[in-house]
């Protein structure tokens, strides 16, 4: 074919591309024209566009499909290195068009990858393509593994660097013999050494994760850390090596009893490295094996964060939100191998973490009780086997003979049937979650909580299980605050003197006294989240007490009342402001009122100090819920009421 028609073909293709249009095969004269111009086209700077056009045409032209693919592959042998990645992607898009062509495509990629006469960049793209090809193809996988175990350490360093990554991932997935030896042969090469040492670390890590003897786990994890440290010596800026080395250190420290503060420092370091990986190395268009490797590293990050949190939780006698701890932290830790390997496989990490977790549970019967009740409530949960596994390896302590604990054991520590639990799970879950705060006054909490539940069940947000748990926990703490304010004397709680009738001539306290005292009480018992006073920019206002638990927020409004502390008056006076703060958060809130009205007849019973309301605001479909809690102030001491006791009963 003379240069005239070839020149015309190139001109036509260039014109289409310059105008942002995609030509069809017919626009270039059809398949026959391209076949006649094959020799000249193989040298064309537009060869990648022509190959793409041929693959694209093959996907829709069933009659000429094999001829189109044949020409595309022949031309692909002449592709420039920078465009080999495009060819690989085109091949993967067409790999299933013709069954017998699958092997032909793979062989083309493998031939390109091992041909040392070709450009190393082109070979790297081809090796990546071949590796992506064999995910579910057993014969091709064996062919690729044979080539990987035969990689020559004298090959081009650029290609060896890329090959080391493929070899490492292949070992992680298939554990083929000879791959680790190839990495060790490459590790001393200056250009490829850091990649080889990193993959040797990953290989040791995988072996540790799959080990079933504790000493083997420790040994392999130590070996992995040493390889990661060598990686950082060879190439300082390797956030992946820094992340994994720190994660293994966190696990090692956790196993020997490191404090939550020490683990938190490691977790912060890992978080920084994950940020770098996200910023520079994550690509949603990357091949599946690269995304899988990144997912493993992200899983290590989450594990380190969970370790720091769990270490803190194990120091407590009970958990405020037991379900959250069990499902989001504990299960995550004791199924760590499954999290990282992405399959149902125990061993490795569990062997290191289990003794520390078990010892933490053994001396805290409240924590064991949480696990037992969680199993009763969640018999079909996918992670029940993990909790059962943990309990089997935890020596449950014998019950104490302490009379007080025995008296309240039926309320807090009895195992219930699913039907019993479901009967009133709101109250039971809240009461059992605060075993460390148990006191004789708890007998009064059940009727208060039940009254609130009956009214608030008309509020949609209260029927959301997660919202109910979070709000209910804070409500329970607040009720206990109410009980403590009604129980303690000036002598034992001088900081509560603002609740008693002031000396004549002394002004009544302002609401900030209540606000500060409640804040101190709440912050000391809230096991997670944050509590802030006078938080600005909440519904265009300033919230008295602003709580953040997990990702959810709500407000406790604090007021004082001098004249009329009836619930209807308090609702009419302050409910609008309290519900307004719910505009961007959970539609549940608490109104805490310092009741400074005269109390010459004494203080009403604690069960009469709490009232819930489901409020329907104008132009809204869903109701909002508030719980008004009066904190009795301006109180007289019992001895001061004796002279007027007759009037109390009139």
Element (H, E) at 255: helix 239-255
Which tokens belong to 124?
Answer: 């790297």
pLDDT of residue 419: 38
Lowest average pLDDT, out of 45-59, 400-414, 505-519, goes to: 400-414
Question: Rounded mean pLDDT of the chain?
Answer: 80
Residue pair 532/549 in contact by the 8 Å Cβ criterion: no
User: What is the per-residue DSSP string for 285-303?
Assistant: TS-HHHHHHHHHHHHHHHH
Which tokens belong to 138?
Answer: 């057993």
pLDDT of residue 346: 62
**Given a cut of 70, is residue 124 above it in pLDDT?**
yes
32 by Cβ neighbours in 10 Å (0-12 / 13-18 / 19+) ranks as exposed
**Given a cut of 90, is residue 632 above it in pLDDT?**
yes
The fraction of the chain above a pLDDT of 70, given in percent, is: 80
**Given a cut of 60, is residue 557 above it in pLDDT?**
yes
CA angle 43, 48, 52 (to 5 degrees): 135
Lowest average pLDDT, out of 172-181, 408-417, 478-487, 640-649, goes to: 408-417
Q: Within 10 A of 150 (CB to CB), how many other CB atoms are there? A: 10
pLDDT of residue 219: 92
Q: Using pLDDT thresholds of 50, 70 and 90, give the confidence band for residue 489.
A: low
- pTM, 2 dp: 0.57
- Phi and psi of 490, rounded to 5°? -60, -35
Helix (H, G, I), strand (E, B) or coil at 60: helix
pLDDT of residue 535: 56
Q: Which of 83-87, 292-296, 333-337, 479-483 has the highest mean pLDDT?
A: 83-87
- Return the residue matching tokens 């604690």: 606
User: Tell me: the pLDDT tens digits for 257-269?
Assistant: 888 888 888 888 8
476 by Cβ neighbours in 10 Å (0-12 / 13-18 / 19+) ranks as buried
User: Tell me: the pLDDT tens digits for 405-462?
Assistant: 332 222 222 223 333 333 345 554 554 444 333 333 445 677 888 889 899 999 998 8
Residue pair 340/224 in contact by the 8 Å Cβ criterion: no
pLDDT of residue 546: 74
Helix (H, G, I), strand (E, B) or coil at 281: coil
**Given a cut of 90, is residue 184 above it in pLDDT?**
yes
pLDDT of residue 524: 55
Chain-centre distance for alpha carbon 145: 35
User: Tell me: the pLDDT tens digits for 143-182?
Assistant: 999 999 999 999 999 999 999 999 998 998 888 889 999 9
pLDDT of residue 400: 39
């Amino acid at each position: 074919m003379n240069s005239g028609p070839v020149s015309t073909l190139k001109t036509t293709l260039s014109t289409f591309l310059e105008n942002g249009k995609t030509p069809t095969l017919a626009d270039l004269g059809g398949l026959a024209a391209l076949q006649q111009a094959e020799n000249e086209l193989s040298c064309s700077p537009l060869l990648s566009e022509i190959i793409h056009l041929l693959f694209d045409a093959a996907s829709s032209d069933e009659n000429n499909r094999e001829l189109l693919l044949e020409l595309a592959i022949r031309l692909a042998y002449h592709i420039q290195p920078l465009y080999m990645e495009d060819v690989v992607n085109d091949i993967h898009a067409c790999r299933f068009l013709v069954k017998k062509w699958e092997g032909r495509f793979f062989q083309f990629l493998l031939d390109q990858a091992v041909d040392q006469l070709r450009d190393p960049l082109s070979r790297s793209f081809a090796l990546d393509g071949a590796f992506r090809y064999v995910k579910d193809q057993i014969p091709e996988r064996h062919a690729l593994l044979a080539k990987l175990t035969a990689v020559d350490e004298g090959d081009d360093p650029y290609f060896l660097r890329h090959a080391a990554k493929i070899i490492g991932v292949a070992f992680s997935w298939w554990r083929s013999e000879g791959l680790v030896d190839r990495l060790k042969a490459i590790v001393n090469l200056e250009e490829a050494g850091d990649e080889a040492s990193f993959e040797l670390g990953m290989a040791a890590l995988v072996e540790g994760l799959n080990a079933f003897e504790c000493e083997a786990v420790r040994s392999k994890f130590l070996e992995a850390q040493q390889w990661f440290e060598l990686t950082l010596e060879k190439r300082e800026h390797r956030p992946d090596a820094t992340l994994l080395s720190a994660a293994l250190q966190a696990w090692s420290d956790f196993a020997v009893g490191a404090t939550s503060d020490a683990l938190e420092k490691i977790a912060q370091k890992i978080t920084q490295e994950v940020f770098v990986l996200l910023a520079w190395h994550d690509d949603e268009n990357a091949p599946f094996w690269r995304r899988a490797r990144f997912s493993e590293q992200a899983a290590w990050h989450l594990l380190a964060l969970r370790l720091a949190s769990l270490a803190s939780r194990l120091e407590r006698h009970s958990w405020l939100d037991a379900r959250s701890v069990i499902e989001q932290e504990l299960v995550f830790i004791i199924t760590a191998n499954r999290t990282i390997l992405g399959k149902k496989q125990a061993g490795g990490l569990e062997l290191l973490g289990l003794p520390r977790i078990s010892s933490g549970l053994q001396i805290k019967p409240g924590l064991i009780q949480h696990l037992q009740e969680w199993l009763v409530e969640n018999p079909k949960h996918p992670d029940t086997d993990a909790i059962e596994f943990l309990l089997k390896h935890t020596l449950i302590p014998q019950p104490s003979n302490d009379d007080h604990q025995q008296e309240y054991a039926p309320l807090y520590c009895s195992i219930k049937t699913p039907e019993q639990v479901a009967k009133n799970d709101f109250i039971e879950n809240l009461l059992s979650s605060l075993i460390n705060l148990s006191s004789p006054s708890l007998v009064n909490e059940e009727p208060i909580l039940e009254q609130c539940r009956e009214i608030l069940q008309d509020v949609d947000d209260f029927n959301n299980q997660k919202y109910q748990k979070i709000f209910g926990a804070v409500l329970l703490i607040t009720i206990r605050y109410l009980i403590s304010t009604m129980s303690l004397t000036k002598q034992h709680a001088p900081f509560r003197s603002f609740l008693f009738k002031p000396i004549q001539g002394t002004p009544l306290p302002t609401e900030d006294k209540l606000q500060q005292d409640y804040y101190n009480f709440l912050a000391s018992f809230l096991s997670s989240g944050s509590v802030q006073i006078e938080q600005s920019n909440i519904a265009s206002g300033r919230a008295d007490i602003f709580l953040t638990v997990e990702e959810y927020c709500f407000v406790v409004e604090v007021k004082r009342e001098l004249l009329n502390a009836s619930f209807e008056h308090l609702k009419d006076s302050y409910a609008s402001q309290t519900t307004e703060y719910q505009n961007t958060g959970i539609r549940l809130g608490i109104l805490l009122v310092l009741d400074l009205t005269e109390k010459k007849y004494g203080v009403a019973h604690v069960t009469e100090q709490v009232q819930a309301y489901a409020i329907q605001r104008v132009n809204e479909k869903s109701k909002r819920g508030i719980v008004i809690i009066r904190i009795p102030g301006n109180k007289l001491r019992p001895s001061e009421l004796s002279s007027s006791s007759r009037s109390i009963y009139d």
